[in-house]
Structure 1
């Protein structure tokens, strides 16, 4: 059996996976606690060892080449297996178990906090690590084994290779505004009217960005002149309350604010914005009993919420 090339080090794989998952060398360097030149050097060394280019550097955002996409599958599997091996030894030594959960903004203020609380009150309670961020970041962590599951909107089909999705419920977007926003008193309100105001929208890599763009195009709005991209719920809420901004956001994120009257939803038909919410895990991998318990808690919270008061 051929041995692995001894020149390939763990740092090569870590730099490769972080650069792909975060879309850039600088972002990968910040995540790894390294300098940008150090990450660039590791990537160059890895490409030299393999004899192929792993990234297409002709674009603003780094993209994998065909060779890079092929290598990614095996690099993710290798890192995941290594982590599982380390965790097995840690558990055998009596260290506390940890369940690692990725929470997209859609569920970070509603389903996930309740699910974690329910899990910690159960017999399999253990340490929980909650990671937040945009979908590409979390799915990259999931593939690499750095987290055990992701809760949120269904990713696009092209990024679901090697992953599996369990549908739990569907949810629309809303256009949230401050309670005295001018559009709330507008007659014959249409989606096109938001062009006259600042708009808080998800970044281009976010799952719901495509839904937002499709709705706007259908309303005859090719672009928004004053667009602010953000995945921060706290910033979105603060900016919406401070200004005349219109916030394109999943309903559950602002459900409490809408119920209390702190924010209002523009009275527009948002039927076309419904999206599937659920649990994404690695396909073909057997999860630990503690992870299964947290997943069961997520399901229980959704069932309770869907049943109503």
Structure 2
């Protein structure tokens, strides 16, 4: 039974501090004073008999007890919000699936799955899909708090996946890609050292894709050039690559059409062999809706078709 001393304000304050990793920022978001925020968290810790946060040079971090509470409190509050929201949705006739999308699925898998989802059954037109993009750490933390129903993409290397459930769909490689006509295009015996003479477009630090780039650099004793564009934006990456001599570290899905149209060229030096596992990540503490289960099945069907094409 829930301790009657624990109030909604305690859990809201706890989740906001966990989200912001700062008492000051959390207090600002909830429009209360910082001393008031500290007092609320202290009350919750006294009720639970456990410390929930510890101070670090970067702000505050969750203790093991804090992580345990986060795993349950986030989905519980989200379920309450959905229950309240559903009352209004009955009149409006709208429901939502909240999907986190990594850059590895933005070009083909997710657009095709959404198109097929909306085309298959008229009843699904009442279910809107809200897509949030960003790095895996950001999306998985939102999934853990119950703010997303699903995260799709390549994320098996992410530390944040921990107690979440991951379902493999297919493997996808990261490629080294340049514009057609680039000085390195068509070079059969390309040496890694030649790459550093050009700008690079690559994922930002602290992302799962960047880990593969760093491993590549270690294997080939490379130091990244100073001319870098770090972004997860596929349109920005593509536009910059097509208009420059940059080397783009790109998900295979994102550049397949450009390579087929001979606008882009894959370099002969492989960044990785098999690639990473692209799949679905869900929060097992949340009861999946029928709409979520149906959308996951649509993603599986589309993924099967994409995997067949690449073989």
- TM-score, normalised to structure 1, is 0.84
Secondary structure (helix, strand or coil) at the match of 2:185 reads: helix
Contact conserved, 1:197 with 1:226, CA < 8 A, in 2?
Answer: yes
Instruction: Report the equivalent of 1:81.
Output: 79
**What is the distance in 2 between the residues matched to 1:7 and 1:84?**
15
**What is the distance in 2 between the residues matched to 1:248 and 1:238?**
14
Check if 1:195 corresponds to 2:196. Answer: yes
Instruction: Report the equivalent of 2:42.
Output: 48
Q: CA RMSD in A?
A: 3.0
In the TM superposition, what are the counterparts of 1:1-309 in structure 2 within 5 Å?
2-6=3-7, 8-9=9-10, 11-20=12-21, 44-49=38-43, 50=45, 52=51, 54-59=53-58, 63-90=61-88, 95-123=93-121, 124-125=123-124, 126-156=127-157, 158-184=159-185, 186=187, 188-272=189-273, 274-308=275-309
- TM-score, normalised to structure 2, is 0.84
- 1:37-72 per-residue CA deviation (whole Å, 9 max, x = no partner) reads 96966753444333646253313x764344543443
Return closer, same or farther for 1:245/1:100 CA change in 2, 3 Å cut-off.
Answer: same
Q: CA deviation at 1:260?
A: 0.9
- 1:225-276 per-residue CA deviation (whole Å, 9 max, x = no partner) reads 3333211111111111222211111110111111111221111134436000
**What is the distance in 2 between the residues matched to 1:170 and 1:40?**
46
**What is the distance in 1 between the residues matched to 2:86 and 2:162?**
26
Return closer, same or farther for 1:4/1:85 CA change in 2, 3 Å cut-off.
Answer: farther
Gaps of 5+ in 2: none
**What is the distance in 2 between the residues matched to 1:118 and 1:77?**
29
Aligned residues: 301
Contact conserved, 2:15 with 2:74, CA < 8 A, in 1?
Answer: no
**What is the distance in 2 between the residues matched to 1:296 and 1:146?**
21
